[in-house]
Amino acid sequence: MSKNIEPIYRQIKDRNPGETEFHQAVREVLESLGPVLVRHPEFAELKIIERVSEPERQIIFRVPWQDDRGEIRINRGFRVEFNSALGVYKGGLRFHPSVNLGIIKFLGFEQVFKNALTCQPIGGAKGGSDFDPKGKSDNEIMRFCQSFMTELYRHLGEHTDVPAGDIGVGGRELGYLFGQYKRITNRYESTVLTGKGVHWGGSRVRTEATGYGAVYFVREMLKIRRQSLEGKICVVSGSGNVAIYTMEKLGKLGARVIACSDSNGVIVDEKGIDLDLVKRLKEVERRRIADYANYHKDAKYLAGGNIWKIPCQIAMPSATQNEISGDDARQLVNNGCIVVGEGANMPTTREGVKVFFDAGIAYGPSKAVNAGGVATSALEMQQNASRDSWSFEFTERKLDEIMTNIHARTHETAEEYGAPGNYVVGANVTAFIRVANAMVALGCI
Ligand code: NDP
Ligand code: 2IT
């Protein structure tokens, strides 16, 4: 980190004690910015780094709800509206027991720069709750979502803040959230949430977008190295929304995915993961990935296993933050991995990232690689605003163009800033300059 930025980072750490994931995300961005301040001294003078690291607004609220036995439960809700220089606050909601303010702040901070990379008019935000959807009935999920929205609705609006899904929040939850918003406000305000069902205002391709987009980015990384996805052996962690559509597009482009996982264990199927089965188990029946082995006798289930020990050429972490440790990264490199494309947000630890750079493999950081989800959310907003509904093919072509552009710009910027092949520098510098220029233009607000 450059000498003039170090004290800023120290101050951010001191002002936000204990928020380790937030510190990690801020540090990664700040480490890229030394050369930017040399070319743009006005950013230092106007304290853009200090301002961009402080959320514009943080909302924490009580979410009381009743379980099926009539017992009252209390969870905590969050919405961190991080930056609106480029557009309305935009970013997902996460329901997972690990959620706390530091995690939502790291996700919101990353979202600001990710959204800037899409070149669409969207600012950055994130929200969620420490609610655990696992094992809850449909009615419990509905009551929780209704209570959550009963507080959150006052902070939302198509020109203010537009949430979407993330871990534990998919089509079902967004439906209940939108229903409650509509009921309280008496407005069918489609643009207030994205990831809606296609038959009630959603965009085609939004469900697939993060995974498909991540694979397009990896395709571009391989192209630069004069390679393709054809015949490549891949490992994808998780088995949720991002993992499923990452596996689908990898398969369509000729690669073979041999392993996926959930928080209980890993499935290895050397013949190639049976995606229809994963979709049925996870999307329809909401079961564990362990059940896969009941249907494919030669697939192996590794209870509590570590997916990064499975040899592969392409690794696409698509579960959660810090899921690749330094040791996992070394294991991947030693096993011949040549590309890492991050579908999850910040899935690689600092040590892991260093291992990838030292080994010279192609490493695509999350804020660039997984931007296809939010980019398609912005396409959903565009369709809602014009009361239009685009075809799958048209929407997918737009997603592909957006991802190809993000790849090209991050790659070019890395070269321009003296770090060829370094997509971390490319993404951070490109995104920061875009946000900073808007903040300068809007004055000291
Ligand atoms: P889902 O809830 O659909 O799936 C999450 C998957 O990751 C599940 O298989 C889950 O296993 C696993 N997982 C979650 N938390 C943990 C954990 N702490 N340890 C081990 N495994 C875990 O979420 P998404 O697929 O939507 O999100 C996955 C990642 O992608 C997240 O990092 C999210 O922030 C990121 N992302 C999502 C976008 C989207 O559009 N949905 C857009 C951009 C990024 P289990 O069921 O056992 O918990
Ligand atoms: O991390 C992310 O980019 C998301 N969860 C998607 C956000 C969105 O608004 O579509």
Domain boundary among 188, 221, 245: 188
| Total structural domains within the chain | 2
Reading the block at residue 87, the tokens are 């557009």
Q: What is the CATH number of the domain that holds 74?
A: 3.40.50.10860
Reading the block at residue 97, the tokens are 């027991």
Q: What is the pLDDT of residues 100-152, one digit of tens each?
A: 999 999 999 999 999 999 999 999 999 999 999 999 999 999 999 999 999 99
- Contact indicator for 95, 128 with CB cutoff of 8 Å: yes
Please check whether residue 31 lies inside any domain of the structure: no
**DSSP string across 332-375:** HHHTT--EEE--SSS-B-HHHHHHHHHHT-EEE-HHHHTTHHHH
What percent of the chain is modeled with pLDDT above 70? 100
Same-domain check for residues 101 and 243: no
Q: pLDDT class for 445, splitting at 50, 70, 90?
A: confident
- Contact indicator for 347, 153 with CB cutoff of 8 Å: no
Mean pLDDT (the chain, rounded): 98
Q: How far is CA 409 from CA 52, 225, 329, in A?
A: 22, 17, 26
Q: Is 282 a catalytic residue?
A: no
CA–CA separation, 445 and 439 (whole Å): 8
Predicted confidence at residue 304, as pLDDT, reads 98
Q: pLDDT class for 280, splitting at 50, 70, 90?
A: very high
Pocket (CB within 6 angstroms of ligand 1) = 96, 98, 165-168, 170, 210, 238-243, 262-264, 318-320, 343-345, 370, 373
Atom 11 (ligand 1): residue with closest C-alpha? 262
Q: Pick the atom of ligand 2 nearest to 371's CA.
A: 3
* Residue 281 DSSP one-character state: I
**Which domain range does residue 294 map to?**
207-369
Max distance between CA atoms of the chain, in angstroms, equals 64
Same-domain check for residues 274 and 221: yes
- Contact indicator for 210, 372 with CB cutoff of 8 Å: yes
Q: How far is CA 359 from CA 91, 102, 186, 218, in A?
A: 33, 31, 56, 18
Same-domain check for residues 181 and 234: no
Q: Which of these is catalytic: 126, 232, 249, 367?
A: 126
Reading the block at residue 204, the tokens are 């085609």
Q: What is the pLDDT of residues 237-266, one digit of tens each?
A: 999 999 999 999 999 999 999 999 999 999
Q: What is the pLDDT of residues 386-439, one digit of tens each?
A: 999 999 999 999 999 999 999 999 999 999 999 999 999 999 999 999 999 999
Same-domain check for residues 126 and 229: no
Please, what is the end-to-end C-alpha distance for the chain in angstroms?
27
CA–CA separation, 394 and 386 (whole Å): 16
Pocket (CB within 6 angstroms of ligand 2) = 90-92, 111, 114, 164, 166, 194, 345, 373-374, 377
Predicted confidence at residue 164, as pLDDT, reads 98
Please check whether residue 388 lies inside any domain of the structure: no
- Contact indicator for 261, 307 with CB cutoff of 8 Å: yes
Same-domain check for residues 150 and 239: no
Q: What is the CATH number of the domain that holds 291?
A: 3.40.50.720
- Which runs of consecutive H residues, i.e. helices, occur in 126-205? 138-152, 171-185
Q: Tell me the best of 96, 263, 342 to mutate to test the pocket of ligand 1, counting ligand atoms within 8 Å of each CB and taking the most.
A: 263
Predicted confidence at residue 414, as pLDDT, reads 98
Q: What is the pLDDT of residues 369-398, one digit of tens each?
A: 999 999 999 999 999 999 999 999 999 999
Residue 361 has pLDDT above 90, yes or no: yes
Q: Which residues contact 388 (CB under 8 A, 6 or more apart)?
A: none
The residue among 55, 58, 154 whose CA lies nearest residue 111 is 55
Please check whether residue 2 lies inside any domain of the structure: no
Centre of ligand 1 from the C-alpha of residue 370, in Å: 12
**Which helix H or strand E contains 234, and what residues bound it?**
strand 233-236
Same-domain check for residues 319 and 362: yes
Please check whether residue 269 lies inside any domain of the structure: yes
Q: Tell me the best of 166, 174, 346 to mutate to test the pocket of ligand 1, counting ligand atoms within 8 Å of each CB and taking the most.
A: 166
The residue among 64, 70, 90, 266 whose CA lies nearest residue 165 is 90
What percent of the chain is modeled with pLDDT above 90? 100
